[in-house]
Amino acid sequence: MNFVLTLDYELFGDGSGNVFRHMIEPTNRVLQICDKYGIKTTLFLEVVEYLKLKQEWDRGNTMGYQNNPVEAIEKQLQDAAVNGHDIQLHIHPQWVDARYENEEWKVDLSNWRLGSFRETGGYTIERLLEEGKRTIENIICPVLPDYECIALRAGGYNIMPSDIVYKAMKKTGLKLDSSVFPGGYEEGELSNYDYRFVSDKLDYWWANPEDMTQMSGNHREILEVPIFAMKDRRWRKVFNYHRLKSMFLSTKPATSSLSKSKTGKMSYGEKIKFLWEKESFTWDFFLYGSGLHHRFFNYIDNKLSKERNYVVLIAHPKSPFNEKAFKSLIKRVNKRNGSFKTMARCYAEMNPQNNH
């Protein structure tokens, strides 16, 4: 089985965080471990955030940094690409109208979802994707002249509604999306998607132009390669040691299904019942330790091994990094004679007629 390790390379969704502490330093540790074991990853660069940082730095605003954060990002991505890692496109639309005021970023949380992005500042979804793809290629092509950005991940998994995104991907030359995770469901003020009907038995599918969560009968233009998700009781998600550590150490924990909008008005008993119920959630290989790795591989071995050849995992450098668990994951995959591949490599295998 092939495992695709993907990193959403970004600050926090509300604009907080430090480029060096939450992106550069933890990603360096990950890449060092990957180099030690000879494996490759895919980094999804949050491009709009990067462009905003660059704009401010070029204006002479250091944003409190002693060293150039834009130069550090570019160098890290270039070095990673030269070493065989993959750099792809990640977009959180709330950054489009972001402003740096009073020593912090102000982002537009009302424009959180890519699928329902409201045109602003002259940006459409198509222009966002086109500029994002071009920006990544401008960063990487000086060291790898033939490099092409082919894959997209929508911020917060918000690819729905996806018909306009599909058309924009087709026009801009993006060939693959990895935003959907089987069983995922969120209906809140920020995220809003429904992937409860998506099968966990599929490695990928050719997306329907009207709804990328559905298979197309005739179109073979955009691949949807889902992120691995596993249904488990909510309390395991919340009360995992490393997730609790993340909640205490991170200035802004990731938005989750256990938001106050869902639990704020519940009684104590209702909250206990809610935590005991099952929910599908992505497998963040930075947060989950060896005990949950055991559950993960049991699920893979018993339910997916006969149907699946590819498993896409996700992590965030801004989360506290469980180095021991990450190494354990690598060793368990190697013990099973599994392999690690980049998203671009998987696309080449899934679509052998293409030259990538």
Q: How far apart are CA 54 and CA 46, in angstroms?
A: 13
End-to-end CA distance of the chain: 21
Q: Which of 111, 138, 140 is nearest to 123 (CA)?
A: 111
pLDDT at position 320: 79
pLDDT at position 26: 95
Over residues 284-298, the pLDDT tens digits come to 777 766 666 667 777
pLDDT at position 247: 47
Structure tokens at 209: 């132009």
Structure tokens at 356: 């990538």
Q: Which of 289, 331, 313 is nearest to 36 (CA)?
A: 331
pTM of the model: 0.90
How far out from the chain centre does Cα 96 lie?
A: 18
Dmax over CA atoms of the chain, in Å, equals 59
For strands 104-106 and 99-101, give the pairing. Answer: antiparallel
Half-sphere exposure of 292 (CA within 13 A, CB side): 26
pLDDT at position 332: 86
CB atoms within 10 A of CB 102: 6
Q: What is the dihedral of CA 261, 266, 268, 269, to 10 degrees?
A: -120
Q: How far apart are CA 327 and CA 333, in angstroms?
A: 10
Residue pair 190/156 in contact by the 8 Å Cβ criterion: yes
Q: Split the chain (356 residues) into runs of 10 and give each run's mean pLDDT.
A: 95 94 96 96 98 97 96 98 98 96 94 94 95 98 98 96 97 97 90 92 94 89 93 64 48 43 64 70 73 73 79 90 86 89 95 62
DSSP 140-168: HTTTSTT----EEEEGGG---S-HHHHHH
Q: How far apart are CA 97 and CA 95, in angstroms?
A: 6
Q: How far apart are CA 151 and CA 42, in angstroms?
A: 10
Q: Which of 26, 69, 13, 23 is nearest to 45 (CA)?
A: 23
Which region holds residue 14: left if phi is over 0, alpha if psi is between -120 and 50, else beta?
A: alpha
Going through the chain in order, the beta strands assigned E by DSSP cover: 2-9, 42-46, 86-91, 99-101, 104-106, 151-154, 176-177, 185-187, 192-194, 205-208, 211-215, 223-224, 229-233, 278-282, 310-315, 339-340
Burial of 338 (0-12, 13-18, 19+ CB in 10 A): middle
Q: Which of 185, 183, 316 is nearest to 254 (CA)?
A: 316
Q: How far apart are CA 202 and CA 225, in angstroms?
A: 9
Angle at 110 between CA 105 and CA 116, to 5 degrees: 125
